[in-house]
Amino acid sequence: MAAFISTGTDRRRRPPRWVAAAAFAAVLALSSCGASTAGSGVAASTAPGGSAQHDVSGLVDVGGGRQIYTECRGEGSPTVVLISGKGAGAEDWFDVLDPADPAHTAPGDDLPFGADVHRSDDAVLPSVARFTRVCTYDRPDVRDGEDVTTPRPQPHTVDFDVDDLHALLGALGEKGPYVLVPHSYAGLITTLFARTYPDEVAGLVMVDTATPLIEQVVSPAKLANWDASNATTSPESREGVQLNDAFARIVAAPPMPAVPAVVLSADKPWRFDRLPPESDTATMVNFDDWTTAQNLLAADLDADHVTETHSGHHIYLYSPALVVNAIRTVVDEVR
């Protein structure tokens, strides 16, 4: 688990992948849920300049011969943008962990090892759509099937993800500035986006996200292992990300804008006890390391820090109402 960055597993159709347990491994699994079904196309496009707001469900042309699978719902301002962790996509934000699933009462984060995750009106995206505009999307290589985002060579650097997000919001005609809500690896995308386009960011809700501040916490050896784990790809987990490169790009970028922010952190520890016996846990980023970095992130952003989440890494599945309330708080402050 030194690697939670994510996996993109559809737990309803395939065994779960735990990037933090096997690849971050493994990798903090900087996400790990993945989409199951896709829309058949854009139901109605947003008018230039955001003057009209209609549901979007399908591929959006972002130029350069590339298309990005996108979902948008709701009306109002600011627009909230949900950004999934490594290997995960838009469908995650329509899902919840069933309230009766034993993972809720387990002392550790059992969700990555199999759980009842299903679509729900109480999930983050449909809930946020009731009080403002909200969009989410698939990065390349997080999902199989129809209407998939144009692939790219893997592993990739974070600047590609920043460019994609900027191009997508422009193509949609969504009016900024935006409230960005990243999970896990997407925290690095969001941080570089905000430093690159500060006028386009109105607020942040960081959902157990990765941060370059972890460099202050762990040894170079642990960082090297974490970086290598997250860059590794396989037929089952095709998105690979380069963490150390992302940290360097963020540190070299202009400072973060001062905007309303909330940090939500997992309080269910990673299950190192479920790793293979031969795993060298001494070389892995562990839950204490991650928690310390979360504290640094909240202080750096001058953010409200929610630490009692009763959740593992995927807080938006364990406790969707908590994430929705944090988003509503930031949206209200922005308004």
- Does the pTM surpass 0.95? The reply is no
CA distances from 100 to 74, 76, 133 (A): 29, 34, 30
- Per-residue pLDDT of the chain (335 residues), as tens digits, is 333 443 233 333 333 333 333 333 334 445 544 333 333 344 443 333 445 689 999 999 999 999 999 999 999 999 999 999 999 999 999 999 999 999 999 999 999 999 999 999 999 999 999 999 999 999 999 999 999 999 999 999 999 999 999 999 999 999 999 999 999 999 999 999 999 999 999 999 999 999 999 999 999 999 999 999 999 999 889 999 999 999 999 999 999 999 999 999 999 999 999 888 888 888 999 999 999 999 999 999 999 999 999 999 999 999 999 999 999 999 999 99
- Output the 3-class SS for 61-111: EEECCEEEEEEEECCCCCCEEEECCECCCHHHHHEEECCCCHHHCCCCCCH
Amino acid 102 reads P
Domain ranges of the chain: 36-211+241-268+300-334
- State how far the Cα of 6 lies from the Cα of 239, in Å rounded to an integer: 9
Phi-psi sector, 214: left (phi>0), alpha (psi -120 to 50), beta: alpha
- State how far the Cα of 143 lies from the Cα of 217, in Å rounded to an integer: 33
CA distances from 180 to 103, 268, 297 (A): 28, 24, 15
Q: What radius of gyration, in Å, describes the C-alpha atoms of the chain?
A: 18
Fold that domain 36-211+241-268+300-334 belongs to in CATH: Rossmann fold (3.40.50)
